[in-house]
Amino acid sequence: MVDVGSKPDVKRIAIAKGNIALAPETIKLIRENQIKKGDVISVAKIAGIQAAKKTHELIPLCHPLALTNIDLSFDIKENKVEIESKVECIGKTGVEMEALTAVSAAALTIYDMCKAVDKNMKIGDIYLCQKSKQSV
């Protein structure tokens, strides 16, 4: 773990994106809330939020952070769901890992909820697209 004790507290924001490719029939089931496990997008959003809050428990050298905001959005396309997370905190280290973890957990949750009806799903293109810090 890196010592960040002497760094000043600043507002930190990270945005990550990713997607999961699904069959058009599966997309239709998601849109119509017909997946047997429930509302896929709502559950995936909660999973992403929970995962961001627990990133330090999953990634060995991450610092525990007091996150001030976590938001996930989902764009359902014809053959995939695009996921975006935005994570914020005021602290001494960035929130990139939390944003990436949120997207990853959301995609995994969609996979889990749809695996009974779609055997060819593919999670991909998870990446950090923006990070910033500003004085408080």
Domains recognised in the chain with CATH numbers: 10-135 (3.30.70.640)
Start-to-end CA span in the chain (Å): 25
Out of 39, 71, 112, 125, which one is annotated catalytic? Answer: 112
Distance of CA 104 to the CA centre of its chain: 5
**Cβ contact 37:22 at 8 Å:** no
Which residue is listed with tokens 């428990």? 57
Mean pLDDT by 10 residues, the chain (136 residues): 89 98 98 98 98 97 96 98 98 96 98 98 97 92
State residue 5's pLDDT score.
86
The verdict on whether 118 is a catalytic residue reads no
Residue 125 contacts by C-beta under 8 Å, 6 or more apart in sequence?
A: 17, 18, 19
The Cα-based distances of 112 to 2, 67, 98, 124 in angstroms read: 34, 26, 21, 15
pLDDT for residue 58? 96
Candidates 49, 41, 42; CA nearest to 67 is 49
pLDDT of res. 49: 98
Q: How far apart are CA 81 and CA 123, in angstroms?
A: 10
Within 10 angstroms of residue 1's Cβ, the number of other Cβ atoms is 9
